[in-house]
């Protein structure tokens, strides 16, 4: 029998053990699924909240006000310099005349603008960077400030710092919750495997008497833990998917009231795969710790 066939046989045995007691097996998987769905669900909401905040606040922009002596050639040269900067996504030029016209359309300023003898406003570029990190934005602003014919580079980075602080706090909370619940899941698997070892104590002793190695005896328990963890991960994914489906219609109604098209995004394929892999690893780790502690205590007399 090949090694692959042996592993497949052990996996089938472990799967039968998971559901040997259907109610207990289902409850264990459900507990694991609920526990994993909490940090994973918070992660999904965090990702969606980040997209919503960015949509509501709009992309960050840097305003570059030119010196009054900048002519058309200087402006064209400056535009080419800006276009070569990989950190800049969009470049919009606002002429002095356009800026004055927009200012004149503001309430209460039309008479003031009409009384001006000359246009005091400078030409300007409005830059939309590709980056969003507050410190990176400030670095880009300082870099642009050094360009020729730039009188002032202005960036409102307060919102970026606030957003980063909120998101960083949320990430830490998700991390703490993930660690705590992971330890709880390892403990659940640890105790389940311990009970199985105690139940099969006589079988393990007989197996050792006829020459079975610890690796051979350990393998079914490890598969049991991994399969239970994987099924718990699948349950967590289903819980998150169902929750997002139930929230879809109420959120769509709310978005219409605020003239928005925001929609909750589900877990990506890579995130889903990571969830399954992580849950399977937690089950395997709990089983390994339990077997390592209790199997060595069972020795033939």
pLDDT tens for residues 109-124?
A: 555 555 566 667 788 8
Tell whether the model's pLDDT for residue 104 goes beyond 90. no
Instruction: Tell whether 215 and 79 lie within a shared domain.
Output: no
Contact (Cβ atoms closer than 8 angstroms) between residue 150 and residue 64 = yes
Q: Do 183 and 264 fall into the same domain?
A: yes
CA distances from 141 to 58, 137, 150, 153, 223 (A): 18, 6, 11, 6, 55
HSE value, Cβ hemisphere, 13 Å, CA-based, for 265: 16
Domain boundary, last residue among 111, 134, 155: 155
Asked if residue 103 and residue 171 are part of one domain, the reply reads no
Same domain, residue pair 249 and 287: yes
Evaluate whether 125 touches 93 at the Cβ level (below 8 Å). yes
Q: Judge if 105 and 230 occupy the same domain.
A: no
Confidence of residue 268 (pLDDT cuts 50, 70, 90): confident
Q: Among 131, 155, 179, which residue terminates a domain? A: 155
Q: Which of 106, 129, 155 is the last residue of a domain?
A: 155
Residue 70 sits in the same domain as residue 143 = yes
Q: Per the structure, how many domains does the chain have?
A: 2
More confident residue, 153 or 96: 153
| 83 lies in the same domain as 178 | no
Look at the pTM and tell me if it is higher than 0.85.
no
Residues 169, 221, single domain; the answer is yes
Together in a domain, 177 and 194? yes
Q: What does the DSSP assignment read for the chain?
A: --HHHHHHHHHHHHHHHHTSSHHHHHHHHHHHHHHHHHHHHHHHHHHHHHHHHHHHH----EEEEEPTT--HHHHHHHHHHHHT-TTEEEEEEE-HHHHHHHHHTSTTTHHHHHT-SS--PPPEEEEEES---HHHHHHHHHHHHTSTTEEEEEE--HHHHHHHHHHHHHHHHHHHHHHHHHHHHHHHHHHHHHHHHHHTHHHHHHHHHTT--HHHHHHHHHHHHHHHHHHHHHHHHHHHHHHHHHHHHHHHHHHHHTT---------HHHHHHHHHHHHHHHHHHHHHHHHHHGGG----
Given a cut of 80, whether residue 17 has pLDDT beyond it is no
Please tell me whether residues 166 and 96 are part of one structural domain.
no
| Confidence band for 133, pLDDT divided at 50, 70 and 90 | confident
Q: What range defines the domain where residue 100 resides? A: 61-155
Return the CATH number at 87.
Answer: 3.30.70.3040
Instruction: Please write the tens of the pLDDT for every residue from 196-252.
Output: 777 777 777 777 777 767 677 778 888 888 888 999 999 999 999 998 888 888 777
Query: Do 36 and 104 share a domain, yes or no?
Result: no
* Shared-domain flag, residues 51 and 185: yes
The model's confidence at residue 26, banded by pLDDT at 50, 70 and 90, is confident
CA 25, chain centre distance (Å) = 31
């Amino acid at each position: 029998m090949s090694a692959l066939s042996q592993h497949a046989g052990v996996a089938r045995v472990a799967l039968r053990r998971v559901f040997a007691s259907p109610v207990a097996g289902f409850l264990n998987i459900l507990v694991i699924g609920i526990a994993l769905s909490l940090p994973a669900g918070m992660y999904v909401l965090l990702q969606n909240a980040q997209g919503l905040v960015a949509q509501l606040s709009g992309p960050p922009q840097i305003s570059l006000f030119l010196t009054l002596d900048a002519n058309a050639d200087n402006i064209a040269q400056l535009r080419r310099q800006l276009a070569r900067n990989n950190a800049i996504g969009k470049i919009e030029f606002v002429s002095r005349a356009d800026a004055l016209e927009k200012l004149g359309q503001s309430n209460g300023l039309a008479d003031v603008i009409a009384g001006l003898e000359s246009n005091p406003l400078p030409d300007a570029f409005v830059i939309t960077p590709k980056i969003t990190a507050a410190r990176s934005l400030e670095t880009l602003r300082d870099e642009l400030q050094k360009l020729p014919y730039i009188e002032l580079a202005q960036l409102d980075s307060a919102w970026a710092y606030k957003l980063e602080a909120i998101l960083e706090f949320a990430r830490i909370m998700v991390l703490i919750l993930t660690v705590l619940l992971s330890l709880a899941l390892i403990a659940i698997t640890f105790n389940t495997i311990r009970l199985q070892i105690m139940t099969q104590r006589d079988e393990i002793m007989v197996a050792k008497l006829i020459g079975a190695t610890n690796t051979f005896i350990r393998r079914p328990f490890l598969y049991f833990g991994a399969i239970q963890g994987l099924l718990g991960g699948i349950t967590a994914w289903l819980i998150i998917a169902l929750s997002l489906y139930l929230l879809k219609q109420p959120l769509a109604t709310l978005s219409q009231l605020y003239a928005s098209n925001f929609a909750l995004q589900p877990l990506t394929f890579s995130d889903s795969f990571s969830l399954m892999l992580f849950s399977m690893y937690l089950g395997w780790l709990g089983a390994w710790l339990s077997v390592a502690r209790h199997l060595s205590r069972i020795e033939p007399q």
